[in-house]
Amino acid sequence: METIQAYLERKHRELGLLNDCLSHPLDLTRPRSVDEVVRSKFQITAALRAEHELNEWKATETAWSHSADPVSGPFKFSYDYQRADLTVRGPSFYEFECGCMSPAIYTASGMAAISAVLLASAQIVEKADLLVLPGSYGETLELIRGLVPHLRLVALSPPLGDAFASANSPKILLLDSCSRASAFEAAIRSDSSGLDLVIFDTTCFAGSSGRIRRVLSWARRYGIPLVLVRSHNKLDSLGAEYGRLGSAVFVQGNEDQQRAGRPEWTRLAAETRNAVRLLGGAALPAHFPPFVGSAAYWALTKRRVAAILRNGRSMARHFAATLPALSAELHFAHGLYVTLRGRRPLEEASARQAAEDMSNELRAEGLPIRHAGSFGFDFAATEWFHDATTDQYSVRVAVSDLPTKVWDDLTSAIAHWWQVRQSTGGGG
């Protein structure tokens, strides 16, 4: 159990890490509340972005100045017109690397990264089955259905049976960190020797996550090429939402174990880089957090994520006991949020309104909650949620890094609010 005093001291160290990246650090005092933490964190990161623009004024889109030497903290960049050939030197957003991992291809967002990989795969295979697990990210599925016709979506559900067995058509598994926990575990416990490629969206797992390590070991065991795609505007910036940034990292399978006739995935990295160029999806140097990579950064990030996961497990247990009929999904693989259903089916508009009303009313009571369409903040965030697998709408409650007592009080307040709202017929 983390006390409020210990929490505020930890947050002071996070703010200090950000502040030290400024040429002229602000005069920081120890925060006295969660609201002060949030306000200071976003103010400092805004100052960092502004300072970057002032210092790097020669590093423009057209690279007209040959004396420009763009940097962002430990990251150094070189590029020509429109960053089509962007090269980044700097620390990894993953806390582990192996010799078979390629340098990251950085993009303007997580969706830009996975879009480039999926579209580039058309240069490797004419047709393929893309296997997806329950709970996979809705926008990714929408992208595939609408813009990636060479990939045929195949929805899986546990037990997986022989879903990964070899077939006439190449098989690609989309392994998503926002899948349901049972499906994710079933996948990485399966014999995957029949798969041709795994695309792993790691966005909702910390860069030091043991589950990422497990997937790396699992893929290597069966000699499967692996692509790690990620949005860095979630868990990688200490909850500061520093900038839109994504990446794709390619991990080659063990050549001695690769199945004969497997597509030539060694070309996928080059084809992805070309797709990023043609789609105009290269990353902006200003969006690389300058505070990433140090030992202090990793220590603070690990403590943040550990607190979020503890709070998530606590909320899931509470909702299972108090809202069993109104809980939509409590066990996503990442543990970063839960979803609530209405007594009557929700539509997008009613789910959005319920999320906004709940946030506004509980915030008025002094609780650290906001209506926001993301997660990983230092406040709880609510938003409407669409399950692309079931086509049902719910309200998502994103778990935050808060002291235990504050989080327990907020959890009880959310459960009470939702129960009363649904009992009186609101929100559905």
Model pLDDT, residue 100: 81
Model pLDDT, residue 234: 92
Under 8 Å CB-to-CB from 363, ≥6 apart: which residues?
Answer: 369, 370
CA distance linking residue 104 with residue 88, whole number of Å: 8
| Residue matched to tokens 């795609």 | 229
Model pLDDT, residue 256: 55
Percent over 90 (pLDDT), the chain: 86
CA distance linking residue 360 with residue 355, whole number of Å: 9
285-313: per-residue pLDDT in tens?
A: 999 999 999 999 999 999 999 999 999 99
Q: Please check whether residue 275 is in contact with residue 209, taking contact to mean a CB–CB distance below 8 angstroms.
A: no
CA distance linking residue 1 with residue 113, whole number of Å: 38
One-letter amino acid at 18 equals: L
Model pLDDT, residue 259: 62
One-letter amino acid at 227 equals: V
| Residue 126 token pair | 């004419």
Model pLDDT, residue 146: 97
Question: Helix, strand or coil for residue 247?
Answer: strand
34-52: per-residue pLDDT in tens?
A: 999 999 999 999 999 999 9
Q: Please check whether residue 271 is in contact with residue 123, taking contact to mean a CB–CB distance below 8 angstroms.
A: yes
Model pLDDT, residue 59: 83
Q: Please check whether residue 63 is in contact with residue 80, taking contact to mean a CB–CB distance below 8 angstroms.
A: yes
Model pLDDT, residue 324: 97
Query: pTM (2 decimals)?
Result: 0.95
The residues of the chain scoring below 50 in pLDDT are none
**Dihedral Cα 362, 366, 371, 373, nearest 10 deg:** -130
Q: Please check whether residue 25 is in contact with residue 17, taking contact to mean a CB–CB distance below 8 angstroms.
A: no
